[in-house]
Structure 1
Amino acid sequence: MKVFRIILIVVSLSFMNCTDNNDLGPQVVFLNTLDVYLEDATFETGAVIACAGNTGGGNSVRTIFYPAPGMTNFRLFASDASNDPNDHSEYEITEAINFGLFNGALNAFDNILSSEKWFIVTAELNDEIKLSDPIRVKHITKPTTLIQDLNINFFDSLTPTFQWSDSADTEDVIYFEVVSDIDDNMLSGTYTQDPTFVYYDTSNVVLNITQGTPTQLTAGNQYIVSVMGISADNWINVFITESFIP
């Protein structure tokens, strides 16, 4: 991974139709390490929902995160895997470029890495810097596994039940489910600790990033469900995706 030193000028720039924030820090920010970025700033840890995996295989790593409404200026910092993940002085900004997934409902960074890392995603919101929990990138020692282990039951055709094996990876502590249409619009984004989800029943949902009330499924239309099994250190162990027609 290439790490570089830059000077960022804070300008009136917005991402994903969010408003800018010109009140955070001085007009010129000498941005190299995370501790320098956070110096004299109000910040909150664990405030950006993020994880990473490498479903493309090889040295490619994708970091996926939820850009909560109002968040701007997304950045990705990296530290060597041998370092203390909570030592902000060891994290340096990366050259990864932020882009949208599911038409902006989620965002991502892509990297090519020859070694394993710790990642932290940052964003700015309401004069504060928001940080994700550290993400342990394990694309070499534990690459993300793409599996076909999804059962879709249509007890009610418009409220399908999705089930998968909880033994696919014993390190999974939470599952992230995305239901989308063929135009790549995210209809729902949910987290469960159970290896099952019903669209759209939130009785077992522990974290919900769905915006508003999701669209009711239409009989005969094609949809896609994606499931990620995530470990406690925010690495995606298992990835499942399948299309379905209610």
Structure 2
Amino acid sequence: MKKFIYYIPLFLFISCIEDDSVPLVNDNETILSKFLEDKTFLNNQVIACAASDSGTMDINNIYFYPEAGASDFRLYQSWADDEKDFSSYQFVPLNSEPVFQGALRVFKLRSDCKWTVVIYEKEDKTEISTPIRMKLSFQPTIWSTDLTVDQSSPLMPHFSWFTLSEENNAIFFQVLSTEDLALLSGTYTEDNHFQYYKLNNVVLNVTPGEPPGLISGETYIFTVMDVSIDNWVNHVIMSPFTAE
């Protein structure tokens, strides 16, 4: 078993490339409940979570998975205690930016709000994420590179990591990517380990198609997000390794 602890520039994970324009909104679209009045909408559909930024301490990064065919990405924020009260959510005029070369997207938000939701349009319906509890002010995300990589099975590395808090953890999101952050696999597990590419403990798979085999001697990057029940990311581990 080999333990790799490398340090890589974590800013690579946070793209600064603007890709889509800020949606134009009318007055009746600035409040989420008004925006939804004449729409068919689905709750708890958009996969999303939030983390504090690795480099800029007052930035919230709201990550989401854009399904094929999704468009008109929007972010709403609320200061209310009741996360289900859509009349309290206000539109945030921000662009989303690509992460992992567009496999995920992120909104970068400066705000002390209590809740956020991500919404988008897909197949004539408005899809909404589960509300995300924003915890930057009292529980900022920890970023590290501490990852154990067992390569006893050739080109099928087994990754494991420590759980920051069993009480706060609900699920782990893993991404295996190339060195230039092209996503090869995206998976969710309830366990603090994952083997590429075995799905025996995977509870949700967002891998686009069949992932490629790894190439011996090539460098890859493995990223893990430790996500809480309210969709705040407690811990991000991001570490490169060389396939064997």
**TM-score, structure 2 normalization:** 0.86
Contact kept? 1:169, 1:238, Cα under 8 Å:
no
Q: 1:28 offset after TM fit, Å?
A: 6.7
SS in 2 for 1:89: helix
Q: Which of 133, 137, 142 in structure 1 is aligned with 2:134?
A: 137
Larger displacement relative to structure 2 (161-170 or 206-215): 161-170
- Distance in 2, matches of 1:63 and 1:87, equals 20
Residue 185 of structure 1 corresponds to 182
In the alignment, structure 1 residue 127 sits paired with structure 2 residue 124: yes
- Given residue 72 of structure 1, which amino acid in structure 2 is its aligned partner? S
Question: What is the alpha-carbon distance in structure 2 between the residues aligned to residue 148 and residue 75 of structure 1?
Answer: 31
d(CA) in 2 for partners of 1:116, 1:41: 26
Given that residues 117 and 130 in structure 2 are in contact (C-alpha distance below 8 angstroms), is that contact kept between their aligned partners in structure 1?
Answer: yes
Which of the numbers 170, 175, 182 marks the counterpart of 1:173?
170
Cα distance change, pair 147–183 in 1 and its aligned pair in 2 (3 A): closer
Give a deviation string over 1:197-222, Cα, whole Å, max 9, x none.
Answer: 00111110011110000011100000
How many Å apart are 1:169 and its aligned residue? 5.4
Provide the rounded CA distance (Å) in 1 between the counterparts of 2:139 and 2:160.
24
Q: Take 1:177 and 1:34, find their aligned partners in 2: how far apart are those partners?
A: 31
3-state DSSP of counterpart to 2:173: strand
Q: Does the aligned pair in 1 maintain the 2:77–2:113 contact within 8 Å?
A: no
The DSSP-based 3-state class of the residue aligned with 2:168 is coil
- RMSD of aligned Cα (Å): 1.9
Residues 40-55 of structure 1 mapped to structure 2, 5 A cutoff: 40-55=38-53
User: Residues 107-161 of structure 1, C-alpha deviation per residue, up to 9 Å, x if partnerless?
Assistant: 1100112x24200000001110000000001001100011343100002131100
SS at match of 1:103: coil
Partner amino acid, structure 2, of 1:67: P
2:111 matched to 1:105?
A: no
| Change beyond 3 A, Cα 1:169–1:145 | farther
Aligned to 1:35: 33
Check the 8 A contact 1:31/1:93 in 2, yes or no: yes
- 1:61-210 aligned within 5 A: 61-80=60-79, 82-113=80-111, 115-168=112-165, 170-210=167-207
Q: Count residues in correspondence.
A: 221
Q: Which has the higher contact order (CA 8 A, sep 6+)?
A: 2
Cα distance in 1, alignment partners of residues 121 and 75 from structure 2? 12
**Structure 2 unaligned residues grouped into runs of 5+:** 1-18
Letter in 2 for 1:156: S
User: Offset at 1:170?
Assistant: 3.1
Q: C-alpha displacement at 1:83, in angstroms?
A: 2.5
Residue of 207, 211, 214 corresponding to 2:211: 214
Other-structure match for 1:22 = none
Counterpart of 1:229 (choices 219, 226, 235) is 226
Question: Which amino acid in the other structure matches residue 161 of structure 1?
Answer: H
State the AA in 2 paired with 1:95: P
